């Protein structure tokens, strides 16, 4: 099986692709496609956050004893992104392309910084700390309902 890092980094890339689809649809003023693409992206992000917050983070915290460290920071950043998600939904409902694209720039910056921290720090730490549990954790993450 793959590593935790590879599994979740691949999901980051998949979510990024979904997000780009929504931006492209908004730029083209194809509101129906934009709505569908945004919902697809948000569903993917909800699933990604659930895999981390419901499976990976608790396992990492239990194993390392670090509950106030990197996982707390990641949860806070998830909350920030959820706020931008709500604003994106609102902008799209108003068919405010400029507002949506401005918010998407903010979200893109947040996601890039967030993903870099996870991919370069947290996920490698999890791979090391949770090596004996890796296969079971990956199976639980895959089975997580969005």
Q: What is the mean pLDDT of residues 78-93?
A: 98
Residue 1 pLDDT class (50, 70, 90 cuts): low
Q: What is the mean pLDDT of residues 127-136?
A: 96
Distance CA 72, CA 66 (A): 9
List the one residue out of 55, 54, 42, 45 whose CA is nearest residue 12. 45
Distance CA 59, CA 131 (A): 11
Collapsing DSSP to helix, strand or coil, 146 comes out as coil
Is 51's pLDDT higher than 70?
Answer: yes
Cα-based angle 123, 133, 119 (whole degrees, multiple of 5): 5
Q: Which domain covers residue 59, as residue numbers? A: 4-143
Give how many domains the chain has, as a whole number. 1
Q: What is the mean pLDDT of residues 8-31?
A: 97
Question: Taking the alpha carbons of 105, 82, 87, 92 in that order, is the dihedral positive or negative?
Answer: positive
The CATH number assigned to the domain holding 45 equals 1.20.120.520
Q: What is the pTM of this model?
A: 0.95
Model pLDDT, residue 33 = 98
**φ, ψ dihedrals at 68, nearest 5°:** -105, 15
Q: What is the mean pLDDT of residues 44-70?
A: 94
Q: What is the mean pLDDT of residues 79-92?
A: 98
């Amino acid at each position: 099986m793959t590593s935790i890092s590879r599994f979740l980094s691949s999901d980051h890339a998949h979510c990024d692709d979904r997000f780009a689809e929504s931006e492209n649809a908004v730029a083209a003023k194809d509101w129906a496609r934009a709505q569908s693409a945004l919902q697809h992206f948000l569903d993917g992000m909800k699933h990604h956050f659930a895999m981390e917050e419901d499976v990976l983070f608790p396992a990492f915290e239990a194993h390392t004893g670090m509950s106030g460290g990197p996982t707390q920071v990641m949860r806070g950043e998830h909350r920030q992104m959820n706020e931008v998600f709500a604003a994106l939904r609102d902008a799209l409902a108003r068919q405010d392309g400029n507002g949506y694209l401005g918010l998407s720039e903010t979200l893109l910056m947040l996601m890039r910084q967030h993903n870099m921290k996870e991919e370069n720090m947290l996920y490698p730490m999890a791979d090391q700390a949770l090596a004996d549990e890796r296969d079971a954790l990956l199976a639980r993450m895959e089975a997580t309902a969005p």
